[in-house]
Structure 1
Amino acid sequence: MSDELLKSFQQAYRNLELLPLIQPNDLDRFRVNYGDEVIEELEQLVEDSPNGDGKIIFTGHRGCGKSTLLAEFSRRSQNRYFVVLFSISDTIEMSDVNHINILFAIAVNLMYEAEARRVEIPKSTKDALYKWFASRTKTEEINIEAETSLGFDLLKLISNKLKADAAVRYEIKQEFERKISDLIARINEIAAVIHVATRKDVLVIIDDLDKLELERVNDIYRDNIKALCQPNFRIIYTIPIAVLRDKFLRPLIETETNDQVVVMPVLKLFEQGQSRQVNAKPRLQAKDILCEILQKRIASELIEQQAAENIVLNSGGVLRELVRIANECCRICLRLIRRKPGQAVVIDEQILDEAVNNIRNDFAVPLGKVDYAILQTTYQNFMPDDPKEPEFLDLLHGLYVLEYRNRKNWYDVHPIVVELLREQGLINGS
């Protein structure tokens, strides 16, 4: 019995990895019908781009399901477009991302996808592009005249260098800093030969830019948004939701993208203020979606129904937090099974309490006096004193504060963080 139970929880634990659903198999197994309106909004902006080169900014809370939704949107768009979806975190060291290596990464990934799909680009054109890549990344040692596998070999080597070699990233930045137009011209050339060969418009989707530190995002967009918008094809960029509260960056981004900003909202479990009421009932549609996500990942015999519903409530409507809490519950159960072989183990209220307490302790570590004051005000007023204050933006970026959308936006404190405010004597209630 304990071996079967162990294997069941191990499977649930694997199902609850804190990773987006990117692969088609994972999408088929775990995705629920969520975010279709956002997909429709992205589709409209892509389809109706006046010049076929629209730039779209996609944002939302970390962990709200953006990556999974972009993967689904990419899959739905394959027949109409030559879609290139890649994660910036898989391509470049996140602490060293800048506008130049973002553009260079677009070029590399365009060519990589063209190779992967056996796009029939004339050999002379292809060789010229590879020589350009090789010279810019100091990889001339590869024989450019080698067999067709060269493309993958060279692009893989370049990708590895972009990710691991700071010297290569520095050289690329030095070369193109004063002649960014040369890099953009090369990107446009690659997109053009792909378009001719496939008879499809190019659509590039860059994920995980929203996971950058806010200071890094500011450096990238403040002075370089024009360069990022120059390629002659459609691009979807992701940004942290906190950027939309920046009084300088937001209007700049809106201007350069023709106000093509799409926000993926957090699932709203309660209308404003309702969660504070005794015996408050969550919105049924939102609760059912989150419960379905759990059901697809955890076998019903491993979790009590009340515990599942309380995991949903503690998530605040953020998909990542839902998975994170359930993942922590599985970790506790796996330890219990090994500690007490033969004993029945199930995710119940006691297990959930321990998991939530562990996560709450993680939340508590970085908080200081100023943070608690902002959280207290936000809890009481559903709005901070200053939503553009850097400390508030950091709390928003770190999921301490969640943004909800009605006709008017409002904020609330993450349900797990609320208990920290009670412990500090900053709010009343049990």
Structure 2
Amino acid sequence: MIDAREKFRELTRVFDPIYRPYQDAGDGPGSSYVREAHEGYREQLEAALDLNDNAKLLVAGQPGCGKTTLLLSVAQWLRSQGRIAAFVDLEAQTAVQDLGAVEMHLAAMAALLSQARGTGAVPSAGTIEACRGWIEELEGSAPPPDPDGLATALRRHLARARDSDGIRKELRDRAAQGGADHTLQLLTLMLQDLSDRRPVVILDGLDKLPPAQARDTFLDDKRKPMAEAPGSAILTIPLSIVYEPTFNVLSERYNNADSAVLPAVRLWDFDSNTRERRRSSKGERILRRIVEARVNPIDLGIVMSEALDRAIVGSGGNIRELSRLMQSSVVKAHVRRGSFVEPQDVEAAIADQRESFRRAYEPRFLPVLKKVRDECQLEGGGEVSKQLLYGLWVVEYRNGTAWYSLPEPVEQLLRQMERG
């Protein structure tokens, strides 16, 4: 019989904030993914991709709301339709804090080559030779003339560029020698060759761009990422971009710019007439299933129902924060030598989060937090609003219109400050 310690060890693994269910899966987001968490939003993405083979789509959202898991689910669905879905984890393959278009194009090409091989599709001999010739200029010798060899060579250069500012600059300079858009031209050739498989390039990690670089990448007069390439593309973007005054210009290039935000799982329903919120039974059910999908294979009863309810409220509907709370609660239970995760453990974990917010608190936050609590509104796109959204001081929901709420640790902090 497995003792509580071993079960707690496994629970801390599956609730680690950096744990990715898809790492245990051959394809897609993994068996613990709850599709209902993003049901309506995902259906809109899939419908756009089904109807338009040149759809260019954006996905924004607060950290931890499930963008990556959603996109892996979409990629799995596309592959089940016989389409090529090239999922690119830019954060893993590039120096995303200093991301250039060259690295983005090369990562997309490598992913397309790998996915094409799995479907039996192959780019034309001319495209293969054009890519080999470009790599030969970099290395002094051409890679093998097959998709696997070419993909390996591209990833090798990406790895080198990721780890070295100098190599990154050299790579970009070499690419510029062939023309400002040379790597985009190579990617275009590849997408055109694979057009009968209706390819989709999914670029995950652009939401990690620093604010200034994100504005430069998406909102200046340069070509917008992937907008001119054939085929479909989905790009994650920083939530801060959505709140820029010029964000509406992206609707000229991206089909869903007006509905790009993936909100948190709605823990509350909001009545815009009475300006009141009430607990959402659907949202609670979804969040409960998200936890149970990870707990049940370990021990159905090791997390008490009341403890799970409290963790759901504490998370505010953010999936990663729910995982973080659960992991912390497991540690609390182990410290007190318990056999189950109980409500007291979750309360202690919420208290820790409250104190973490206290350490990061700035006086300029106070009027904004009060307005969110009292009116469910977050006014304007100022730097304070963006900072509170990115730091998860405020959770964004949507049911018709965007509205906002404070997660439980922040509400507790605000009450304490008002009493003090």
2:217 paired with 1:226: no
What is the Cα deviation at residue 426 of structure 1? 7.4
Q: 1:42 aligns with which of 40, 45, 48?
A: 45
Match of 2:190 in 1: 190
Aligned equivalents of 2:218, 2:176: Cα separation in 1:
15
Q: Return the match for 1:401 from 379, 383, 394.
A: 394
Specify which of 210, 226, 229 is matched with residue 213 of structure 1: 210
Aligned letter for 1:64?
C
For 2:309 and 2:287, the matched residues in 1 are separated by: 9
Distance in 2 (CA, whole Å) between partners of 1:333 and 1:177 is 57
Match of 2:233, SS state, is: strand
* 1:348 correspondence with 2:348: no
Change (3 A) 1:212 1:145: closer
How far did 1:8 drift? 0.8
Q: SS of the residue aligned with 1:301?
A: coil
Choose from 297, 302, 308 the match for 2:294: 297
Shift of 1:116: 5.7
Q: Using the alignment, how far apart are the partners of 2:160 and 2:385 within structure 1? A: 36
Q: Note the aligned Cα RMSD (angstroms).
A: 2.9
* 1:341 paired residue number: none
Tell me what 2:359 maps to. Answer: 365
Mark the CA change 1:48 to 1:150 in structure 2 (over 3 Å): closer, same or farther. Answer: closer
What is the number of equivalent residue pairs in this alignment?
A: 407
Contact 1:311 1:352 in 2 (8 A): yes
Q: Give the fraction of aligned pairs with identical amino acids, expressed as a percent.
A: 19
Range with bigger deviation, 185-194 or 26-35: 26-35
Where do residues 100-249 of structure 1 align in structure 2 (5 Å cutoff)? 100-115=102-117, 119-121=121-123, 125-135=127-137, 138-140=138-140, 144-145=143-144, 150-176=149-175, 179-195=179-195, 199-223=196-220, 224-226=222-224, 228-248=226-246
Cα pair distance change 1:415/1:4, threshold 3 Å = same
C-alpha contact (below 8 Å) 2:376/2:404 kept by paired residues:
yes
Change (3 A) 1:186 1:368: same
Q: Deviations over 1:281-312 (max 9, x none)?
A: 62211111111111122233322111110101
> Which amino acid counterpart does residue 47 of structure 1 have in structure 2?
D
The equivalent of 1:314 in structure 2 is 314
The reply on whether 1:424 has 2:410 as its aligned counterpart is: no
User: What is the alpha-carbon distance in structure 2 between the residues aligned to residue 94 and residue 164 of structure 1?
Assistant: 11
The answer as to whether partners of 2:109 and 2:151 remain within 8 angstroms in 1 is no
Instruction: Give the Cα separation in 1 of the matches to 2:103 and 2:148.
Output: 25
Structure ranking higher on relative contact order (CA contacts 8 Å, 6+ apart)? 1
Does 2:76 match 1:71? Answer: no
Q: C-alpha separation between the residues in 1 aligned to 2:201 and 2:144?
A: 29
**Cα separation, 1, equivalents of 2:305 and 2:69:** 26
1:127 touches 1:144 (CA, 8 Å); kept in 2? Answer: no
Q: What letter is aligned with 1:406? A: N
Residue of structure 2 aligned with 1:284, choices 281, 287, 291: 281
Q: Cα offset for 1:247?
A: 0.7
User: Structure 1 residue 209: deviation in Å?
Assistant: 1.7
Q: 1:68 to 1:285 in 2, by over 3 A?
A: same
1:225/1:237 CA distance change after superposition, 3 Å: farther
- The answer (yes or no) to whether the contact 1:15–1:297 under 8 Å persists in 2 is yes
Secondary structure, counterpart of 1:84 in structure 2 = strand
TM-score by length of 2: 0.87
2:235 aligned counterpart, secondary structure: strand
CA spacing shift, 1:86–1:108, aligned 2, 3 Å: same
Shift of 1:235: 0.6
CA distance in 1, matches of 2:268, 2:198: 42
Range with greater deviation from structure 2 (300-309 or 265-274) = 265-274
- Relative distance call for 1:27 and 1:166 in structure 2 (3 A) is same
Give the drift of 1:215. 2.6
Contact 2:128/2:145, CA 8 A, preserved across alignment: no
3-state secondary structure, aligned to 2:35: coil
Whole-angstrom CA distance in 2 between matches of 1:128 and 1:183:
11
Answer whether contact 2:97 2:208 (CA < 8 A) is retained: no
Task: Quote how far apart the aligned CAs of 1:225 are.
Answer: 4.7
Q: Please say if 1:253 is aligned against 2:256.
A: no
1:335, 1:159 → 2: CA distance? 44
| Corresponding residue number in structure 2 for 1:58 | 59
Q: Which residue of 1 aligns with 2:10?
A: 11
- 1:193 to partner: Cα distance: 2.6
1:270: which partner in 2?
A: 268
Judge conservation of contact 2:267–2:284 (CA < 8 Å) in 1.
yes
